[in-house]
Amino acid sequence: MAGLCDTAAAKAQPDPRLGIGRSRLRNEGHASDFGDESLLDVVDTVAAAGLCDPSADPSDCAAGRVCIDPASAVGGVCVDSSHRSALGMNYRQDGPETYDFDAIPPQLIWHGKTLEFFVTFPNQTGTTSDSVQLLSQAHLDYESLNSSFGFVQYTPAREDKVAFNVTLQDTTGAPFTTFLITPVPDLPPETSIISSALKPSDDETPGEFSYTCQDSETDVLFNAEMRTIRKCQVIAEKDLELDWVFSGAQEDIQELEVFAETVTVASPVHLKQTDLTIYAKVLNISHPDAQIITTPASFPREEQEGLNGQVGHDGGNIVLHVKSLILPMNLSQPIFVTSGGRGQEQGPGKHGNDGISNTHCRGDSSCEFGGLVFDGHEILYKRIKHDKERFGDPDPTTAGKQEWPTNGTDATPAGVPGKGGNGGNFFSSVPMNFEEIVDTSGGLSGEDASITDADTKYDFRGGKAGEPMRSVMVEED
């Protein structure tokens, strides 16, 4: 029986466009000699180390496995024949790519497609394929083919819309390589987006579009207030002017998805704290003043004395799944702004209250009352002598009050200003000069006092003690 691959033809030559360690699989052998049903008859010999000779007849692989040739440096590798996606490499000219474990480039995969590639583990690294685990927020399949080769497969789920990092980690728990995968949803077919739930007059709108939202079940803290938030979707029949749809500041949209052939922005669009995703063939920034800003609203100043300010909200994320981006000439400001919100200004401080004084004597050292001389520190509670009742005096036999002077109260220091929020993430499927047109900076602190007025703003004194500072209370009949 003919072998699975012709020896001379199956050896993959490095593609100069792919760089060192990357090669495309080629198959110019006898793919037509067998079908799925005959594979188990062909592969019936066990390879000692999982490697095989693609030219062998029969194959060096065990029953149920098939020999493929992912890299010319080591020959073939036995793969489970039930792994139909990997097995399919034997039937097409360009199979999955092969990457060295420490040189896996960013991967982009459209919904409805499957990402597949081999990972090689050179012996000198001390790491083997079968000692590796794959860490990711999405569901990926990883198969160890032998000590030198692993196979990665990923099919985007419907909810996978944002780029994520994948880490290859060995059994010691030490990460040794990380790469990025970006799932890209397909645009819905035009026949499914002809509704016009929100359609202005024909002389004002460039086309029909639908605008639907789903409200949250409970209020959440969003843009510095407890409020009901929405997840919204705008689907245009063809073109959409984003600044026309969202002409005012939006403060209650948590997530917004926009689908259109062309999305145009001609003036600033404020989507405060919103996670925005745009799916379009063209994103046209048609004016130098146009911006998409997801910076959150700021908290009002904390009014309660001494309380710390709250941390500012994080900026909303912006994800662009577009084929082309049109920018105006002579830009003077960032186009995409996901900066964090400002921290809340702290509660103010307060001087302490003075203590309550209580003394009848007003002299510096002594005073006279009723014919008797008192030390200036004594408190007179009852009258010593009186000749007649005073008009309107409810108790002519007493004077003063039977209370000690009180201490002054402590000052209340001002609170700590809130830290600024983190900047939102930004992703684009098209290259651009990020430094010039993207601002993902963190928010400012809630502090608003300059160094020059810090002494007056934050210098708070405790209250004075009540007088006299030392005292005795005298009671006479």
Span 377-403, pLDDT tens digits = 555 555 444 444 445 555 555 555 667
User: CA–CA separation, 292 vs 266, rounded Å?
Assistant: 10
In-domain check, residue 414:
no
Q: How many residues are present in the chain?
A: 477
- Residue 382 falls within a domain, yes or no? no
DSSP state of 205: -
**Is the link from the previous residue into 468 a cis peptide, with omega within 30 of 0?**
yes
- Classify residue 126 by burial, with Cβ atoms within 10 Å: 0-12, 13-18, 19+: exposed
Q: Are residues 160 and 198 in the same domain?
A: no
Residues 132 and 45 occupy one common structural domain = yes
pTM: 0.48
Name the band, by pLDDT with cuts 50, 70 and 90, for residue 344: confident
What b/e readout covers 18-41, taking b as 16+ CB neighbours within 10 angstroms?
eeebbbbbbbebeeeebeeeebee
CA 107 and chain centroid, separation: 21
Q: Work out the average pLDDT over 90-118.
A: 75
- Tell whether 127 and 211 lie within a shared domain: no
**What domain range includes position 327?**
190-348+423-448
User: Is 152 in the same domain as 261?
Assistant: no
How many domains, in total, are found in the chain? 2
Q: 176 and 65: one domain?
A: yes
pLDDT, tens digit (0-9, with 9 covering 90-100), for 282-327: 999 999 999 999 999 988 887 778 788 889 999 999 999 999 999 8
Point out the domain boundary residue: 126, 160, 184: 184
- Could you tell me if 179 and 129 lie in one domain? yes
> pLDDT tens, 114-154?
888 888 876 655 677 777 777 766 678 887 777 777 888 88
In this structure, the answer to whether residues 245 and 163 fall within a common structural domain is no
For residue 251, the number of C-alpha atoms closer than 13 Å in the C-beta half-sphere is 14
Q: Residue 275 — pLDDT band, cuts 50, 70, 90?
A: very high
What is the reported pLDDT for 439?
94
Pair (196, 72) in one structural domain: no
311 and 259 in a common domain: yes
Are 448 and 353 contacting, i.e. CB atoms less than 8 angstroms apart?
A: no
* Span 328-336, average pLDDT: 88
Is the domain of 175 the same as that of 198?
A: no
Of 16, 40, 18, 14, give the one whose Cα is nearest residue 26: 14
Please give the Cα distance from 180 to 174 (Å, whole number): 18
Would the CA dihedral through 301, 307, 308, 312 be positive or negative? negative
Q: How confident is the model at residue 28 (pLDDT cuts 50, 70, 90)?
A: very low
384 or 419: whose pLDDT is higher? 419
User: Same domain, yes or no, for 338 and 431?
Assistant: yes
DSSP state of 388: S
